[in-house]
């Protein structure tokens, strides 16, 4: 489809484009501006609906086309479509979204949207869609003037929507090979029936069948196997295909017992063991014996996930089946904890616990750094997300903190920048650790440049310990920063009592500040209040230019996040252009 072909239909049309992601809004708007007579923009569904109504009041007609995303704050795309269809049922609507939930897409098609495009958008694809929908809009204008063929067009559109809906429904909900309902239908039925029993059935080593006989024979086997399962799951049971070699049976009978579920699993295993599946190979019938493993769950909450955990347990223990119980989770957690405890000990012994540094850029162009713990493992840098909680349970956390303090201080003893280390309430409560901290402050002569970041924690039960610690640090010319302010237990009275030098506004507030009014108001309140107390504010999670520009206009003191840099192993690799702050 050529540009000129589409432009012949789009050039006189007026549209509204609704998108909450500013980068996507800007990118697609540039494309739309090249095609349409006028393009109005909206940042969410509520904004779009308001402009939609205003447009009619001004011009006594509606937009030719509405283009919208699905997931947006205040009012999402589904609700917007619903409201617009109430006002103008014939409105042409194009939905462009990365969201792929089949139920939501089908709901939109049933509402009467005309086209649905997945992000990211291919340029040729969008030209084709603009051609089709604009051709329709252009035709509608002609039909309105002549009052001809309106009924026929509506019937054709309705038929098209029904056909597309049916086609999409079958594709999303049913397996082409076996004809069985797929995962989407299973999840829908789990919500609908809240089953008392679920069997997750896996064919052991099915890949070997494909490897020996080929995928065509493998498909034959799956078809025959699904028919056997269907025969064994009659009555109140429903059968589903999860794709490949996995199947699910649920029982929707309300009085279905745990024992009945177990007996059904044994019945299926016994039958499959004794009865081969026949496949036709080179015009001859061949018996292929299968072996299956079943994960069983009779707990209605997250029943599929628990059956999957039971299946994995059965595989590990080489059992024909396993039934979910809380002990399975305990076994898994205990095993994970043991693995990470060994990894942490080994990393400490092999000196693989290291500090990384993320820059904090102040609004006057100065740069300081936050020290962040990492474990190096086979050329990978392991985030504390995976091991910090385990280190606390295993008693290794104190050792990690000591390593971080000493290594960080040693690096900055030969540098001029200010830097910070994170301490928890548990750290501050440990007199031996604080003694170690003070010794290193003096040893490496970092007074005047060192900042303690006190992490938010609801475990603080003696506020005097925190206040006394801060007094000691102030005497050593150490600055105090409150990390993650705005989360946990934090409040403004807390600031007046401990008088920190800095507060870091929590990332949960910052990350959507360019599009969420509530986040903006909270951040602005924190900034204004801090200024009155003479406290500098730093924004965490500054991940885009849009977020940075918004914060800059609010008068914040410093910025930290991936927009400037990810955490660095080597500080000297950080390159910063001060023009970025202009």
CA distance 174 to 89: 31
Pairing of strands 65-68, 284-288: unpaired
pLDDT at 485: 82
How do beta strands 65-68 and 246-251 pair? Answer: unpaired
For residue 189, how many C-alpha atoms fall within 13 Å in the half-sphere facing its CB?
A: 23
Give the C-alpha separation, 549 to 546, whole Å. 5
Distance, CA of 309 to CA of 290 (rounded, Å): 22
The tokens describing 571, both together, are 């500080």
Rg (CA), the chain: 31
Q: Which of 388, 422, 306, 354 is nearest to 570 (CA)?
A: 354
CA pair distance 471, 61, nearest whole angstrom = 69
Task: For residues 80 and 61, give the distance between their C-alpha atoms in angstroms, rounded to a whole number.
Answer: 18
For residue 232, the surrounding DSSP H or E stretch is helix 215-232
What is the rounded CA–CA span in Å between residue 107 and residue 98? 16
Listed residue (536, 511, 480, 514) closest to 366, CA to CA? 536
Would you state the pLDDT for residue 152? 57
Q: So what's the pLDDT on residue 581?
A: 60
According to DSSP, residue 277 is labeled E
Degrees to nearest 5, angle at CA 535 with 532 and 541: 120
Three-state DSSP class for residue 296 = strand
Residue 254's φ and ψ, nearest 5 degrees, are -65, -35
In this structure, are residues 542 and 552 in contact, taking their beta carbons and an 8 Å threshold?
no
Helical pair 206-213 and 215-232, crossing angle rounded to 10 deg = 140
Cα–Cα distance between 540 and 537 in angstroms, integer?
10
Which residues in 446-553 belong to E strands, given as ranges?
A: 450-454, 479-485, 502-505, 536-539
Classify residue 319 by its DSSP letter. Answer: -
Q: Taking the mean position of all CA atoms in its chain, how far away is CA 239?
A: 30
For residue 120, say if its preceding peptide bond is cis, omega within 30 degrees of 0: yes
Q: How are beta strands 367-377 and 419-423 bridged, if at all?
A: parallel
> Contact at 8 Å (CB) between 75 and 46?
yes
Q: Given this model, what pLDDT does residue 301 score?
A: 81
Closest C-alpha to 36, from 60, 57, 18, 63: 63
Q: Quote the strand ranges of 298-365, DSSP E.
A: 321-323, 353-362
Q: What is the DSSP string of 509-544?
A: HHTTTTT-HHHHHHHHHHHHHHHHHT-EEEES---S
Give the number of residues written for the chain. 582
For 270-329, the three-class secondary structure string (H helix, E strand, C coil) is HHHHHCCEEEEECCEEEEECCCEEEEEECCCCCHHHHHHHHHHHHHHHCCCEEECCHHHH
- Checking DSSP bridges between strand 92-97 and strand 115-118, what pairing results, if any? parallel
* Per-residue confidence (pLDDT) for residue 477, from 0 to 100: 93
What tokens does 516 get?
């969420």
Greatest Cα-to-Cα distance within the chain, rounded to the nearest angstrom: 91
- The sheet carrying 38-42 orders its strands as 38-42, 14-18, 65-68, 92-97, 115-118
Spatial contact of 361 and 564, defined as CB atoms under 8 Å apart: yes
Residue 79 is predicted with a pLDDT of 92
pLDDT tens track, the chain, 582 positions: 556 777 777 888 899 999 988 888 888 888 888 888 899 999 999 999 999 999 999 999 899 899 999 888 889 989 999 999 999 998 889 888 876 666 777 778 788 888 888 777 776 777 777 778 777 777 766 655 555 445 555 666 677 667 766 676 677 788 888 889 999 889 989 988 888 889 999 998 888 888 778 889 999 999 999 999 988 887 778 899 998 899 999 988 766 677 788 888 989 998 988 898 888 888 888 888 889 999 999 877 889 988 998 998 888 888 899 988 876 665 556 667 788 889 899 999 999 999 999 999 988 889 999 999 999 988 788 888 788 888 888 889 999 999 999 999 999 999 999 999 999 888 888 899 999 999 999 999 999 999 999 876 555 666 788 888 999 999 999 999 988 887 654 567 667 777 899 999 888 888 888 887 878 888 898 899 888 889 999 999 898 889 999 998 998 999 999 899 999 999 988 887 665 665
Residue whose C-alpha is closest to residue 248's, from 311, 334, 159, 204: 311
**pLDDT at residue 44, as a whole number:** 92
Structure tokens at 287: 């018996």
Residue 191 three-state SS = helix
Q: What ranges in 76-202 are assigned the alpha helix state H?
A: 77-87, 102-111, 123-146, 150-173, 183-193
Residues 6+ apart with CB under 8 A from 4: none
Beta bridge partners of 285: 280
Tell me the C-alpha distance between 172 and 165, whole Å: 10
- ∠ CA 260-266-269, nearest 5°, is 145
Q: Which two tokens stand for residue 405?
A: 């303090």
Q: Are 207 and 217 in contact (CB under 8 A)?
A: no
**β-pair type (479-485, 450-454):** parallel
């Amino acid at each position: 489809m050529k540009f000129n072909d589409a432009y012949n239909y789009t050039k006189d049309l007026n549209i509204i484009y609704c998108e909450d992601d500013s980068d996507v809004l800007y990118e697609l708007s540039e494309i739309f501006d090249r095609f349409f007579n006028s393009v109005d923009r909206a940042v969410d569904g509520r904004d779009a609906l308001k402009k939609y109504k205003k447009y009619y009041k001004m011009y006594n007609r509606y937009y030719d086309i509405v283009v919208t995303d699905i997931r947006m704050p205040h009012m999402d795309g589904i609700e917007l479509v619903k409201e617009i269809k109430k006002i103008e049922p014939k409105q042409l609507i194009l939905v462009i979204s990365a969201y792929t939930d089949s139920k939501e897409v089908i709901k939109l098609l049933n509402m009467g949207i005309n086209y649905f495009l997945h992000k990211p958008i291919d340029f040729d694809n969008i030209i084709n869609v603009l051609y089709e929908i604009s051709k329709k809009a252009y035709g509608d204008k002609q039909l309105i003037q002549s009052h001809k063929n309106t009924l026929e067009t509506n019937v054709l559109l309705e038929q098209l929507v029904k056909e597309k809906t049916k086609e999409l429904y079958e594709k999303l909900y049913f397996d082409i090979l076996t004809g069985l309902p797929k995962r989407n239908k299973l999840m829908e039925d789990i919500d609908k029936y809240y089953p008392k029993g679920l069997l997750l059935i896996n064919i052991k080593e099915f890949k070997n069948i494909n490897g020996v006989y080929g995928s065509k024979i493998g498909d034959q086997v799956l078809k025959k196997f699904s028919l056997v399962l269907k025969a064994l799951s009659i009555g109140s049971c429903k059968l589903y295909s999860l794709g490949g070699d996995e199947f699910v049976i649920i029982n929707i009978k309300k009085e279905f017992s745990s024992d009945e579920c177990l007996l059904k699993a044994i019945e299926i295993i016994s039958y499959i063991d004794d009865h081969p599946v026949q496949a036709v190979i080179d015009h001859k019938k061949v018996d292929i014996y299968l072996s299956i493993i079943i994960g069983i769950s009779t707990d209605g909450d997250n029943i599929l996930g628990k059956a999957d955990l039971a299946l994995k347990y059965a595989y590990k223990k080489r059992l024909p089946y396993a039934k979910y119980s809380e002990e399975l989770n305990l076994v898994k957690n205990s095993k994970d904890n043991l693995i990470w405890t060994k990894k942490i000990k080994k990393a400490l012994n092999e000196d693989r616990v290291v500090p990384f540094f993320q820059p904090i850029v102040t609004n006057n162009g100065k740069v300081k750094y936050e020290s962040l713990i990492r474990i190096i493992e086979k050329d990978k840098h392991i985030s504390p997300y995976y091991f910090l909680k385990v280190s606390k349970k295993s008693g290794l956390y104190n050792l990690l903190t000591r390593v971080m303090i000493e290594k960080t201080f040693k690096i900055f003893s030969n540098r001029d920048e200010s830097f910070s280390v994170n301490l928890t309430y548990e750290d501050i409560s440990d007199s031996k650790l604080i003694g170690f901290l003070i010794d290193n402050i003096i040893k490496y002569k970092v007074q005047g440049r060192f900042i303690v970041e006190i992490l938010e924690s609801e475990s603080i039960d003696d506020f005097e310990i925190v206040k006394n610690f801060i007094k000691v640090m102030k005497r050593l010319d150490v600055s105090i920063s409150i990390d993650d302010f705005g989360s946990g237990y934090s409040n403004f009275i807390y600031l007046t009592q401990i008088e920190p030098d800095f507060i870091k506004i929590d990332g949960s507030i910052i990350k959507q500040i360019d599009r969420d009014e509530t986040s903006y108001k909270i951040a602005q309140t924190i900034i204004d209040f801090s200024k009155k107390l003479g406290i500098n504010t730093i924004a965490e999670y500054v991940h885009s230019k849009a977020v940075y520009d918004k914060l800059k206009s609010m008068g914040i003191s410093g910025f930290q996040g991936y927009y400037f840099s990810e955490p660095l192993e080597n500080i000297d690799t950080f390159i910063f252009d001060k023009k970025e702050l202009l």
